[in-house]
Chain A
């Protein structure tokens, strides 16, 4: 296990910048998740760490050693691929033993290590099978065992759960996280699934267009998103376009005056998390409610999600707001077409200048 440092890493294909100047420092034993939409450069970054792609600029160091120019087979980085990439002609035992044979360990040690690692991923007794005789979840665990067996300095996970069905995914998520913590593995995972990212990571990196948008904890990203992209990508936000007229005073393009927590002035966009918005049959604001804003509107759409209910409210011809309310006894659930009020505290909104 070791610290992993990515310093000013960039990759250019002709005129296309896949990754621009990414710098990250992953502490020994930390689980870092690279999160972003497809094409944001997260996989390219991971593959540069693994050594499959040569960076155009920048460095990668593992445990203080610069590995930028080392080929992948000299890096001691365990990788789990999206499609598992098991060797189809080798048994489970042979798959897991492969990396150990490359390290020229004595046969007895290899057998012992293979057995231990398979026990770790709860696949004892499956060693003699071929990959095609296993279920998707089992194949995924073999891929993990194969990467863990070599005792890698860093563990790299490239969308490792995307080929599993939803229920299995939740289980494996917890399993991988527990293993990683137990073994103290420095881990980088790439995913586009924010729920996956939020549940597994110690720290997250949001990327888009080859750039790091924000690095931080789950709470940092959710409550203090650095820009409009992060606010929209991590969790959900309603955006109101408009102008910041004065510190704390925002006017939407639809003409609504809104109290907010922003400084400065100029064109801006106001974002509000749906679950921070209250709804009521009449004005929900007032001195004791803590809601600085209370605006009238008409319900356009109600979407029932079970535990939660989304209510889409038209505030003005160009402004629409989503409120998410808990489905509790006695909760006020309006119907489509009903005139209602929505309200939220100024502190629940964020202003991003354009």
Chain B
């Protein structure tokens, strides 16, 4: 008996120590998330149920869903939500279509410049959104480099309207989001054995069939991660639509910012923020369910 007790003693103590270490490791991140994310969300949600008195630009304590009703009944706001969803879906689809071949090549290359290739994909992210947008304004503006050159050469009479259009915003967000898509896909494709593709070929599958029957289902985790990431980033894009879209173009994130800062309408700003979050979440979950059911078929 004594022997077993002695033998077990230190083991139990060690276990307890491990538990404490794990807790100690988890705590900082948990506390940080609680303070930095959950608390503001809870408070913001409470604000979104308050009333706003426009005359005095003041928030009044209340419990009402008037702000939410206001958003969904005014076509001005629903149009902005629709534009945002439409652009995010389009951007995500384009990123997937453009990103997959690139990710495949990067994942499969035997080149010793592979790391350089990955860095060059991430490189655009080193430039902040605002800096990039400002640069684009210089190059693509009506009096920018491209238009000035073309007009100077007499090739065109009127400047190409690139800046301050929806197209500019879409291209801008794609440029920002593509690296996230490529990296998500590349890491998963790298884990797919090349010989699995060869096995499909040897069994009589042409490349397109091989892609849909083998590569696509096996890359699905990366496709999901990439699309979720890209979609969320696009839904919440702020700097790109603000700077490249111009004053008349509206997406959700700039709208929220505007409500908070220009209108100082915190309750309505809070409501829009929650609408954006919920719509993003619902669409993401729905898309995942559809894609996964497809794959299971």
A contacts, CB < 8 Å to B: 50-52, 71-79, 81-83, 85-89, 98-99, 102-103, 146-147, 150, 156
Contact (Cβ within 8 A) A98 B205: yes
Q: Given A88-B218, A89-B217, A89-B218, A98 and B203 touching (CB < 8 A)?
A: yes
Stretch at the interface among B3-11, B19-27, B73-81, B190-198: B190-198
B154 at the interface (CB under 8 A from A): no
Counting from the closest, the 6 A-B pairs by CB-CB distance are A99-B203, A102-B204, A85-B195, A85-B199, A72-B201, A79-B202
Contact (Cβ within 8 A) B203 A85: no
Chain B interface size, as a band, is: 10 to 19
Inter-chain CB contacts under 8 Å: number: 67
Contact (Cβ within 8 A) A83 B193: yes
Contact (Cβ within 8 A) A77 B195: no
Which parts of B207-241 form the interface with A (CB within 8 Å)?
Answer: 209, 213-214, 217-218
Bound together, the chains give a CA A51 to CA B202 distance in angstroms of 8
Contact (Cβ within 8 A) A73 B193: no
B54 at the interface (CB under 8 A from A): no
Contact (Cβ within 8 A) A85 B218: no
Bound together, the chains give a CA A74 to CA B199 distance in angstroms of 13
Q: Given A52-B198, A83-B193, A146 and B203 touching (CB < 8 A)?
A: yes
A contact residues around B196 at 8 Å (CB): 85-88
Bound together, the chains give a CA A288 to CA B228 distance in angstroms of 88
Contact (Cβ within 8 A) A73 B202: yes
CB distance from B295 to the nearest CB of A (A): 8
A contact residues around B199 at 8 Å (CB): 79, 81, 85-87, 146
CB distance from B190 to the nearest CB of A (A): 15
B151 at the interface (CB under 8 A from A): no
Bound together, the chains give a CA A96 to CA B35 distance in angstroms of 54
B contacts, CB < 8 Å to A: 193, 195-196, 198-206, 209, 213-214, 217-218, 295
B contact residues around A83 at 8 Å (CB): 193, 195
CB distance from B76 to the nearest CB of A (A): 47
A contact residues around B195 at 8 Å (CB): 81-83, 85
B contact residues around A150 at 8 Å (CB): 203-204
A contact residues around B218 at 8 Å (CB): 88-89
Chain B residue at minimal CB-CB distance from A156: B202
Bound together, the chains give a CA A87 to CA B200 distance in angstroms of 9
B contact residues around A89 at 8 Å (CB): 217-218, 295
Bound together, the chains give a CA A209 to CA B57 distance in angstroms of 85
B contact residues around A156 at 8 Å (CB): 202
Chain B residue at minimal CB-CB distance from A76: B204
Bound together, the chains give a CA A163 to CA B238 distance in angstroms of 53
CB distance from B94 to the nearest CB of A (A): 27
Bound together, the chains give a CA A103 to CA B202 distance in angstroms of 12
**Which of A51, A78, A82, A147 is B201 in contact with, Cβ under 8 Å?**
A51
Contact (Cβ within 8 A) B201 A73: yes
Q: Given A85-B193, A88-B218, A150-B204, A102 and B209 touching (CB < 8 A)?
A: yes
Further 14 A-B residue pairs, CB within 8 A, beyond A85-B196, A87-B214: A51-B202, A71-B201, A72-B198, A72-B202, A73-B201, A79-B202, A85-B198, A87-B200, A88-B196, A99-B204, A102-B203, A147-B202, A150-B203, A156-B202
CB distance from A112 to the nearest CB of B (A): 18
Q: Supply 7 A–B pairs (Cβ within 8 Å), ascending by A.
A: A71-B201, A72-B198, A73-B203, A73-B206, A77-B202, A85-B198, A102-B204
**Which of B202, B209, B213 is A78 in contact with, Cβ under 8 Å?**
B202
A contact residues around B201 at 8 Å (CB): 51-52, 71-73
CB distance from A237 to the nearest CB of B (A): 36
Bound together, the chains give a CA A76 to CA B201 distance in angstroms of 10
Contact (Cβ within 8 A) B217 A102: no
Bound together, the chains give a CA A82 to CA B202 distance in angstroms of 14
B contact residues around A102 at 8 Å (CB): 203-205, 209
CB distance from B223 to the nearest CB of A (A): 13
Bound together, the chains give a CA A74 to CA B205 distance in angstroms of 9
